[in-house]
Structure 1
Amino acid sequence: MSEKVLLTGISGWIAKHTAIELLNSGFEVLGTVRNETLIEQTKDTISKYAPIDKLSFIKLDLVKDDGWNDAAKGCKYIFHIASPFPIKVSNNRESLLPPAVDGTLRVLNAGINAGVDQIVKTSSIVAMFRKPNRTNPYTFGEQDWTDENWVEGVNDYFLSKTKAERVAWELMESKGLKNKLTTICPGGVFGDALDKKGGTSIEYVRQFMAGKFPGAPKFAVLISDVKDIAKAHVACIGNDKVGGRRLIVGKEVKKLVELSQLMAEAMPAYAKKLPKKELPNFMVKLISYLDSSAKMMIPDLGILMQTDPSYAEELLGFKFKAAKDCMAENAKSVVRLGLV
């Protein structure tokens, strides 16, 4: 009998890659969707990369109690991947908290009630590195937390990821179950788009390759390959070393202009459209008044982040993909799918 994994938000980009990794490793997967219309498209995409005889779906909503306890019954593991990541920034910092925070508590409580062996939650380095008065370069690691009270620098998405991870740890510690939880903390997620649904990171790549940016903002981020993130989730199963740990998954920190160069090398036909210079910070701030997606970067403009994810490679037992390979695969998949 195969071991069953409840995987939340299976129609999402990271979750689809994770489902593929699980199915190819012989696990049974029960994927949650908020909207039943997403099931066929998700199943079709996954079927191109993995057998789907052990794949099933259930309609559940992170903002409703209904069905979570029943879904977790009979599951040995839970991968809580679902979380909102809009490309636009809301003026309401708390707009994403109901699905992110309350949803996390619903999923984890269902897992506790069902007596699952392990819970792996997808968090992000955005729950780690945003705080005022940082040095430049700024180094962060597993013990660091984003300052939720920094209103100017912590937007709706950053706040939702930080609060959701904090409540997860608080709940598991209060139950004496901290070692049953692991969080996976990627940076900017890039790699194979799989299908046209994609994610926010894919949209940034698409816009770069379509010539939408005259220059690249002076923004740097840890580059995380989506397949590494999926592999990291699965590598946690039965791995005693990762209990109670926050695992930073990614290889190298790169500036956006460097990512542009990597995409140009991989896809020379698009080199002319890709930005070759960096935009002055004041221009990015001006753009952010017209396009709220630029607001996400403003607190980090000109700051070079540093982190050492090698501890996570050691605990998970594999090496993360270099930014060059990750961005090449991303650019090629965007073109292959006709997104540019």
Structure 2
Amino acid sequence: MLNFACTFKIQTMKNKKVLVTGGSGFVGIHTILQLLQQGYTVHTTLRSLSKKENIISALAKGGITELQDLHFFEADLTADKGWNEATEGCDYVLHVASPFPLVEPEDENDLIIPARDGSLRVLKVAKLSGVKRVVLTSSFAAIGYGADRKGHTFTEEDWTDENASVAPYIKSKTIAEKAAWEFIRKEGGDMELSVINPVGIFGPVIGDIYPASYEGVIKAILEGTVTESPAFTFGIVDVRDVAGIHIKAMLHPEARGQRFLATSDGAVSFYDVAQLIKTERPQKADRIAEMKPTQPEMYTQMSNRKAVDILGWQPRSKEEAILASVDSTVA
């Protein structure tokens, strides 16, 4: 009976098609991996199909060798071409694609316009294709900036003030998410929207697909190029849990019209990350610079209670996520 039930579930999921935008990204590849493991048929978009082999190689390292349920489509968020084909027959869309610049552009519109218009393009074609629900990857950037809120615990009720003096990336994520909600209110019809707002995404690398956090935090600390702990802290979430919360939000009836702050418990500083590596992975810590601790009053407070209570989401600890990133490094 158990085998029959498992087989029935897999067959049922194979009848469900999910589009994951940006399959060559860190969150994208982990989301595709989990969906395939759960028996879904997956469509994914790439700006260039030349990246297809990288995805196949990464999935193989993640244990997926049968790819008959994975289909690739060339589509760019800045153009209409390819999106109708990518969404055709899909029940759900996980709009994960979102470039993270290591260097802020001189013109903020170079980030704002593609982020906003790209999200709207995906929503419009999803509606035309009869998609039931879109899950949009936003960011804590759309929640926690633009005002001095010392002592405040950030939740999904908070919004970044995009009219304040904030970085272009932060502004772009805020504007893009607000535009998505506005589209749903005015033009969405029966299509549903859920939004995930992750903090800094860490965790295991599969293949050669690395997150921005690896270059900007882990590698910088391991190589000793960071010599002082900046006067800010940040939340941590494991990429496996980010992929998982997207799937939970895709399916859970109560996720309709909701945004979810995806974070493990507590924030960290660069000093905290360095000390964790020194303690738990001393063999990789020989080049880490000495740093002074970040002052306690700088620590940002965030709550994942809504995702835990509504979705039953149970994220890994920040320490596990960080060490999984460290363990992905070579030597």
TM-score, scaled relative to structure 1 = 0.87
- Would the aligned equivalents of 1:178 and 1:243 in 2 still touch at CA under 8 Å? no
Corresponding residue of 2:251 = 238
Q: Deviation digits for residues 243-263 of structure 1, max 9, x if unmatched?
A: 111111111212221112122
Structure 2: gaps (5+ residues): 1-13
**Which residue among 91, 95, 118 is the counterpart of 2:133?**
118
What is the distance in 1 between the residues matched to 2:325 and 2:279? Answer: 12
* C-alpha contact (below 8 Å) 2:47/2:74 kept by paired residues: yes
Match of 1:262 in 2: 276
Taking the TM superposition and a 5 Å limit, the aligned residue runs for 1:273-292 are 273-278=287-292
Question: C-alpha distance in 2, partners of 1:56/1:202?
Answer: 28
Structure 1 outlier segments of 4+, above 6 Å: none
> Secondary structure, in 3 states, of the residue corresponding to 1:121?
strand
Structure 1 CA distance for aligned equivalents of residues 282 and 130 of structure 2: 52
Alignment partner of 2:179 out of 148, 162, 167: 167
- The residue number in structure 2 matching 1:80 is 95
Q: Which piece of structure 1 moves more, 254-263 or 165-174?
A: 254-263
Question: Aligned partner of 1:78: which letter?
Answer: V
Does the CA contact (< 8 Å) of 2:94 and 2:246 recur in 1? yes
Are 2:212 and 1:200 aligned? yes
Pairs aligned (count): 314
Per the alignment, in what secondary structure is the counterpart of residue 96 of structure 1?
A: helix
Tell me which of 98, 121, 135 is aligned to 1:106: 121
Q: Who is 1:326 aligned against?
A: 321
User: Cα 1:92–1:138, aligned 2, differ >3 Å: closer, same or farther?
Assistant: farther
2:81 corresponds in structure 1 to 66
Q: Deviations over 1:146-182 (max 9, x none)?
A: 111113xx11211111111111100011135587111
Name the structure 1 match of 2:197. Answer: 185
Residues 178, 171 of structure 1: CA spacing in aligned structure 2 closer, same or farther, 3 A cutoff?
Answer: farther
| Residue-by-residue CA offset, 1:193-229 (whole Å, 9 max, x unaligned) | 2233312111121111111111221221111111000
Deviates more, 1:220-229 or 1:44-53: 44-53
Quick one: distance in 2 between partners of 1:62 and 1:327? Answer: 31
8 Å Cα contact 2:241-2:315 kept in structure 1: yes
Kindly provide the amino acid, as one letter, of the partner of residue 88 in structure 2.
K
Which letter maps to 1:155?
Answer: A
Instruction: Work out whether residues 123 and 180 of structure 2, in 8 Å CA contact, stay in contact via their aligned partners in 1.
Output: yes
| Corresponding residue of 2:304 | 309
Match of 2:9 in 1: none
How big is the alpha-carbon RMSD for the aligned residues of Structure 1 and Structure 2? Answer: 2.0
Asked whether the 8 Å contact 1:217–1:279 carries over to 2, the reply is no
